[in-house]
Structure 1
């Protein structure tokens, strides 16, 4: 576990970034599913910014809205009210084709499932999205990314010839190679043992500190959240708190303030 300075609680009403410019931001964002008796408010007027070149973790109890927030911010789900922006682009203003292009060109994704094609090599999996888009990766940048991720000697291997940690590193490289404005990671270590998970989190942190990448990660694990520069906490679809320079202990203690119903006590 990396050494971290003490966490500092910020005002819960509006979590904001320390960076001067936001890579993504939500303003009074709400997401509602269903109607009448089946109506569920997944997000309730959430306003939050994710600063460029920062690593932010989103945490909260099950059903708190953390994955919904990420999906709305990444353009994977529509919003019911409010706004979600990547850079200066308002996602709700885009048609399906424009939204697909934005996700391809400006957003990287890392999920719990590695989502690698078994018949392709590691290199082919890394460059596949760019190949589909008709783009060629910058060779120097590609070499930098695979070097940092320790994949240089594994590029000819297929997924079945790689460990789980190596497969997730391929997925991280795939997200980084197009130089997206922001990477969204949804429980990226959920399928890994603790050692492989720590390696992947180290690489995500390296991508922020050495490559200037912006990373937003949903996690339930306080130890994983401690790799981030900042943790935002949700409960009942609302932003409730923010921790800067988090430690696993501080995050865990804050999470214990939620009762078994997922409400802040």
Structure 2
């Protein structure tokens, strides 16, 4: 049993790990312009779990996600997806790993305007030369509510529908882990709730693993667990979050409460 800087008691939890960072540091620039975006961060993201990453602007939350997802290099330390060490991979190997094992959802929908919804969903699999599991694909499409819009191009879809396409694209290939960076940032509250509800259900019913960066306490409340960053360090963790408990924790962190960094790698709130 351990206690976080804000008095949250935690206990060790054993589970398979989908991704992890160990003593990870990311530095941008040199000399007087040097910025330490991540400062010796260690954290694990367990399989079949929904984790939200939160923190004030500039805290390093997006940098952490990008490094663990293999979208950015690390300055020192380790980043792994499953048992694969990302820092040891060459560019082509890293590209293949991201294509085969990782799903991505971004605030910008990143859809190709010349392709219809179905073609956008299956594009990563088409590039990889893999045929989609038709039963699974149909289930994903039905779940995100796109059955009647598959022939429509992005310009013929609303913002919420475009993000549903992006979510379906991330899930359809059955990746080992999905990274989502502010996935509801461009959506109204109703569309955002529908997307978050689907992500939540994909974890509970389908065993998906999701890591989401967000600034929104309501969005974070859909997660199983929230980790909080400040100044490039993990300063707290919260399990079974509610919007109010997340907001309270964010206010303490943003208000300048002094906190020693903690490892979120093997802790669980009771």
Question: Which of 4, 12, 25 is equivalent to 1:11?
Answer: 4
Structure 1 counterpart of 2:101:
106
User: TM-score, normalized by length of structure 2?
Assistant: 0.90
List runs of 5+ in structure 1 lacking aligned partners.
Answer: 1-8
- Measured at CA, do residues 125 and 18 of structure 1 come closer, stay the same or move farther in structure 2, by a change above 3 Å? farther
Pick closer, same or farther for the CA change 1:71–1:16 going to 2, 3 Å. Answer: farther
CA contact (8 A) 1:31 1:44 kept: yes
2:54 pairs with 1:64: no
Q: Count the aligned residue pairs.
A: 256
The 3-state SS of whatever aligns with 1:246 is coil
Q: Measure the CA separation in 2 of the matches of 1:259 and 1:115.
A: 32
Asked whether the equivalents of residues 121 and 165 of structure 2 are also in contact (C-alpha less than 8 Å), the reply is yes
Deviation at 1:232, TM superposition (A): 0.3
Select the residue among 202, 206, 209 that pairs with 1:211.
206
Query: 2:4 & 2:129 partners in 1: Cα distance?
Result: 45
When residues 12 and 22 of structure 1 are mapped into structure 2, their CA distance, relative to the original with a 3 A threshold, is farther
**RMSD of aligned Cα (Å):** 2.0
TM-score, L = length of structure 1 = 0.92
| 2:47 aligned residue | 52
State the 1:52 CA deviation: 0.2
Correspondence for 1:6: none
Over 3 Å counting, the alpha-carbon distance change for 1:19 and 1:248 in structure 2 is: farther
The alignment status of 1:182 with 2:177, answered yes or no, reads: yes
Query: How far 1:18 sits from its partner (Å)?
Result: 4.2
Quote the residue 2:73 is aligned against: 78
Take 2:246 and 2:222, find their aligned partners in 1: how far apart are those partners? Answer: 11
Alignment of 1:105-254 (within 5 A): 105-254=100-249
Q: Deviations over 1:175-220 (max 9, x none)?
A: 0111100000000000001111111100111111111100000000
C-alpha separation between the residues in 1 aligned to 2:231 and 2:254?
Answer: 12
Partner of 2:264: none
Between the aligned partners of 1:222 and 1:40, the Cα distance in structure 2 is: 27
Distance 1:263 1:197, change over 3 A: farther
Distance 2:13 2:4 in 1: 13
Deviation per CA, 1:207-248: give whole Å up to 9, x if none.
Answer: 111111000000000000000000000000000000000000
Distance 2:13 2:46 in 1: 7
Q: CA deviation at 1:259?
A: 3.7
Shift of 1:258: 2.4
Alpha-carbon separation, structure 1, partners of 2:130 and 2:160 = 27
Q: Give the equivalent residue in structure 1 for 2:253.
A: 258
Which stretches of structure 1, 4 residues or longer, exceed 6 Å deviation after superposition? none
Paired residues of 1:24 and 1:86 also in contact (CA < 8 A): yes
**Structure 2: gaps spanning 5 or more residues:** 261-270
Change (3 A) 1:85 1:262: farther
